[in-house]
Amino acid sequence: GAGVSQSPRYKVAKRGQDVALRCDPISGHVSLFWYQQALGQGPEFLTYFQNEAQLDKSGLPSDRFFAERPEGSVSTLKIQRTQQEDSAVYLCASSLFTGTSYNEQFFGPGTRLTVL
């Protein structure tokens, strides 16, 4: 079946522009996660949804970052007034269950954001 997909794969933005990154999780997956991966680093948690509810947004670096998942499937990560330090790969992951021992997360290919 189809895996997690993300679009666009690459995004170049001028400093100060707003961007929107899309994630299509695996159909039926309840949980959806956003991570930020800087060059040469491991992914860092940004936010987490269970269906349409955003249960944890503690990893969002500033109030310029906003995420939504209004219908419990597709999610959008929005970054307002982009800064150079926002340049990174943004990874989306989904998993089938939550609150159980089965935690495997399936990752999308990521969106590489470059802010000039």
* Interface positions with another protein (CB under 8 A): 4, 31, 33, 35, 40-45, 48, 55-56, 59, 91, 95, 98-101, 103-110
Q: Considering the complex, what minimum distance in angstroms separates the CB of residue 39 from another protein?
A: 11
Nearer to another protein, 12 or 55 (CB): 55
Q: Is residue 6 classed exposed, middle or buried when 0-12, 13-18 and 19+ CB atoms within 10 A define those classes?
A: buried
CB closer to another protein, 25 vs 108: 108
Q: Which of 92, 82, 77, 91 is nearest to 114 (CA)?
A: 82
CB of 16 to another protein, least distance (A): 28
